[in-house]
Structure 1
Amino acid sequence: MNIANKITIARIFLVPLIMFFLLVNLQLPPIRIETFQITYNQIIAALIFIIAASTDGIDGYLARKHKLVTNLGKLLDPLADKLLVAAVLISLVEMGKLDAWIAVVIISREFAVTGLRQIALLEGKVLAASKWGKWKTAVQITAIIFLLINNFPFHFINFPFDVIASWVMAVITIYSGIDYFVKNRDLIPIE
Structure 2
Amino acid sequence: MARTPMVWNAPNVVTLARFALVPLVIVALVLGEQAVGWRWAAAGMFAFAAATDKVDGWLARRSGQVTDWGKLVDPIADKALVGTALVVLSILGDLPWWVTVLILVRELGITVMRFRLLRYVVIPASPGGKAKTVLQTIGITLFLMPLGTLPEALTVVAWVVMVAAVLLTVITGLDYVRRGLAVRSAAHT
Aligned CA distance change for structure 1 residues 136 and 158 (closer, same or farther; 3 Å): closer
* Aligned equivalents of 2:79, 2:173: Cα separation in 1: 14
1:145 corresponds to: 141
Per-residue deviation, 1:82? 0.2
Q: 2:93 aligns with which of 88, 92, 96?
A: 96
> Which residue identity lines up with residue 97 of structure 1 in the other structure?
D
2:13 corresponds to: 6
Give a deviation string over 1:144-186, Cα, whole Å, max 9, x none.
1111114499725476111222211111100111111112212
Aligned CA distance change for structure 1 residues 26 and 11 (closer, same or farther; 3 Å): same
2:160 corresponds to: 164
Give a deviation string over 1:80-124, Cα, whole Å, max 9, x none.
00000000001110121111011011011111111111122122x
Contact kept in structure 2, 1:154 and 1:160, CA below 8 Å: no
* Aligned equivalents of 2:60, 2:83: Cα separation in 1: 24
1:120 corresponds to: 117
Contact kept in structure 2, 1:151 and 1:160, CA below 8 Å: no
Q: Which moved more, 1:14-23 or 1:154-163?
A: 154-163
SS, match of residue 151 in structure 2: helix
Aligned residues: 179
Contact kept in structure 2, 1:19 and 1:91, CA below 8 Å: yes
* Aligned equivalents of 1:144, 1:46: Cα separation in 2: 8
Q: Does 1:109 align with 2:106?
A: yes
Give a deviation string over 1:33-84, Cα, whole Å, max 9, x none.
xxxxxx1110111111111010000100111111111011011100000000
As a proportion of its length, which structure holds more helix?
A: 2
> So what's the TM-score if we normalise by structure 1?
0.86
Aligned CA distance change for structure 1 residues 25 and 149 (closer, same or farther; 3 Å): closer
* Aligned equivalents of 2:17, 2:155: Cα separation in 1: 35
> Which residue identity lines up with residue 41 of structure 1 in the other structure?
W
Unaligned runs of 5+ in 2: 1-7
Aligned CA distance change for structure 1 residues 2 and 138 (closer, same or farther; 3 Å): same
Q: Does 1:17 align with 2:24?
A: yes
2:54 corresponds to: 57
Contact kept in structure 1, 2:39 and 2:145, CA below 8 Å: yes
> So what's the TM-score if we normalise by structure 2?
0.87
> Which residue identity lines up with residue 145 of structure 1 in the other structure?
T
Contact kept in structure 2, 1:119 and 1:187, CA below 8 Å: no
Per-residue deviation, 1:143? 0.5
